[in-house]
Amino acid sequence: FLSSSSSQTLSKLEALECHFTWVKQTTRSQLLAKRVELEDIGTDEGNFWLGSIYNLWGFVLYELGSSKEAHRYFRKATETLQRLKKEDEGPWLMVNYGNLAWLHHHLGEEAKSQDYLSKVEALKSKSPCQEELHPEIYAEKAWTLMKFGKDNQLLAADYFQRSFKMQPDMVQWQSSRVIALSSAAKYWDTGLSDDVLQEIRTAREQDPENLYVAAVELKERGRKGESVKNEAETLGQKILLQPVSSYSGLKPLLRLHRQLGSLDEAIVLTEEALQRHPDERYLKRCAALCYKWKVLMFTADRADQRTIERAIKLHEEVVDLYSDTSFVKKIDLACVQAKSSQGREIAYQMFQDLLASRALDSDDKQLLYYNYAKYLHFDCQDSNESIRYHMKSAEIQNSTFYGKLSVKLLQKICERGRSRMCPEIREFLEKPARR
């Protein structure tokens, strides 16, 4: 049983606004993916979110079992925030102090935990509005939730909006809101509303240094049919001059090139970036993505062998460089190998190994079944087995983007009516879960 003072401490800890109360039920694979994501954001001194990066990193490391490293990163967050804000104390430290209170509590260091709880209380008492969270806390909560799945993107966007309304001079919060909204839109069938597009334009005007927002804005204008090719080229050259980061704007710009049908320009851009920074794994990942798009656009006999070889080499490097989160990258490598005359046996074996993996969650299975179904159809000309794997993908509950694509493909096959499996597909699609 807990003593009354222990239970009081615990209820105080549970009332804190910090990563230990915001982030619940994460799997080890999700935590490893977060660590990789944080490494790819980079820790360039000019990064507005650097304190938040260290705070989240500390939490992820604690959850992965590295208390000592977690403490080091929480302390880095404290020092970074003090340096960026040019003050030793302020509301922007409340989340960090909350994390440290929890960490010391978990380590059994109750006096230190109490010390940080007192610091949070002291900062809270100075807050002008006791009913609502301080805008700094809303912003950091939003930034953190944005990193934990599509279900949190809209909540994050809402928190960013609240913080920005309270402090309209913090244009970075508005920029982060539109990034959260554009990320959420990837899962919508409707695309972005005119209101959100206007918000993106406003964010770009107010935060002109944010090249990620600039790339998102161009991508949306391109989707609407505007001519943005020249602007895309200019933005690409600007991005090359920035420190390497997953928030440099490179990836949304590459997706814009794909949208415009200018994959060669995307490849040239990533190769130029790699010439400048040959050891940056994030750039290798971006280059591998462009080559995959290029290779998978063609049937095997039309693809240029040199392009396929470069795609395979980059994907092999990416699998090694992202060893903690290599599952998706292995699927991509298998898909690219299948397009090479020498790699077809390798691709088949890779898919068999992936299908035999035991530790796959439902999202991973859906992604694998969808890609294997496409491989069976296009590279093995086995349309019946391909249909069976699309069904396996579609029958997983809580469908991801790929499950929905499988359903659409099955509906299309039924509409054409050429497959002898049409009756089986219709019966499958009529089940209540698929409607």
Query: 342: exposed, middle or buried (C-beta count within 10 Å: 0-12, 13-18, 19+)?
Result: exposed
First to last CA, the chain: 50
**Does any domain span residue 34?**
yes
**Does any domain span residue 223?**
no
CATH no. for residue 34?
1.25.40.10
Phi, psi torsion values for 359, nearest 5 degrees: -95, 45
> Which residues 6+ apart lie within 8 Å of 131 measured at CB?
none
Predicted pLDDT of residue 159: 97
Report H helices in 241-326.
Answer: 250-260, 263-276, 281-297, 305-321
Domain total for the chain? 1
**Does any domain span residue 14?**
yes
**Does any domain span residue 30?**
yes
Task: Quote the pTM value.
Answer: 0.93
**Does any domain span residue 44?**
yes
- Using only C-alpha atoms, the chain has a radius of gyration, in whole angstroms, of 24
What are the Cα distances from residue 95, in Å, to 137, 151, 180, 281, 285?
7, 22, 21, 31, 33
**Does any domain span residue 174?**
no
CB 139 within 8 A of CB 159: yes
**Does any domain span residue 152?**
no
Q: Which residue segment(s) compose the domain that 13 sits in?
A: 1-126
pLDDT in single tens digits along all 435 residues of the chain: 445 567 788 999 999 999 999 998 888 988 999 999 999 999 988 899 999 999 999 999 999 999 999 999 999 999 999 999 999 999 999 999 999 999 999 999 999 999 999 999 999 988 776 678 999 999 999 999 999 877 799 999 999 999 999 999 999 999 999 999 998 887 776 678 889 999 999 999 999 999 999 999 999 999 889 999 999 999 999 999 999 999 999 999 999 999 999 999 999 999 999 999 999 999 999 999 999 999 998 654 566 889 999 999 999 999 999 999 999 999 999 999 999 988 989 999 999 999 999 888 888 999 999 999 999 999 999 999 999 999 999 999 876 789 999 999 999 999 999 999 999 999 999 987 655
**Does any domain span residue 289?**
no
If you search the block for the tokens 């490893």, which residue do you land on?
32
Token duo for residue 74:
């929480």
